[in-house]
Structure 1
Amino acid sequence: MGNGSYRPELRAILREKQGGRCCYCDVRMRISFKSKMRPDSETLEHLDRRTDRGGNDRGNIALACYRCNTGRGASTVVPR
């Protein structure tokens, strides 16, 4: 899931819930435009990957930094 305008209200809820930190590595994240992504940019992450039938429901989405989200690949990582 990219860093576009997907559900800004969901991003705000998750940002508040997670204290602005990555669900995996706990780094403080920045809000960035998709064209200017940085390792600490905020991204929406499917905890159960879509390829593993993970859906878009709120319970399956968290905020992860760009580094963790893109580096996860096929691995199973447990969020903090």
Structure 2
Amino acid sequence: MVLLACLTRPTTTIRRETTPMAKKSRLARIRDELIEQQGGLCCWCHQPFTATGPKQATLEHLKPKMRNGTNSRENLAAAHLHCNQHRGHQMNMAKLQKEKAAKAVEACE
């Protein structure tokens, strides 16, 4: 009888990546990794980041979310707050094409 009760008890699933706090920490971790990967420089102006102000680091969507861009690591780069805001919802096609070509070459090696 006890065994039956255990089998019919509802279970709860915790979705760690969907809570706002988990999502924020995941994106913050990605931002920090991208900053390191980019040598501490903005992906657009290639100047160093500061802790606060217009040159603080933000996550830049290479393909804007409003154009079906995602939060996937491949679509993100670290950019100054000012550069990110100034760019708006534009896509840098030359940069995207260059990255695609680099990935294609890497896949062939």
Do the two structures share a fold, i.e. TM-score over 0.5? yes
Whether 2:3 is the aligned partner of 1:20: answer no
Which portions of structure 1, spanning 4 or more consecutive aligned residues, are displaced by more than 3 angstroms?
none
Q: Provide the residue aligned with 2:15 in structure 1.
A: none
Give the greater-gyration-radius structure (CA).
2
Distance in 2 (alpha carbons) for counterparts of 1:67 and 1:76: 16
Stretch of structure 1 that moved more, 51-60 or 11-20: 11-20
Whether 2:31 is the aligned partner of 1:11: answer yes
Alpha-carbon distance change, 22 to 51 in structure 1, aligned in 2, over 3 angstroms: same
> Taking structure 1 as the reference length, what is the TM-score of the superposition?
0.76
Whether 2:62 is the aligned partner of 1:47: answer yes
Which of structures 1 and 2 has the larger relative contact order (alpha carbons within 8 angstroms, sep 6+)?
1
> Taking structure 2 as the reference length, what is the TM-score of the superposition?
0.57
Distance in 2 (alpha carbons) for counterparts of 1:26 and 1:42: 12
| 3-state SS of paired residue (1:19) | coil
Q: Per residue, is there more helix in 1 or in 2?
A: 2
Identity of aligned residues (%): 37
For structure 2, the 5+ residue unaligned runs are 1-23, 96-109
> Number of matched residues?
71
CA contact 2:66–2:89 (8 Å) conserved in 1: no
Distance in 2 (alpha carbons) for counterparts of 1:29 and 1:13: 14
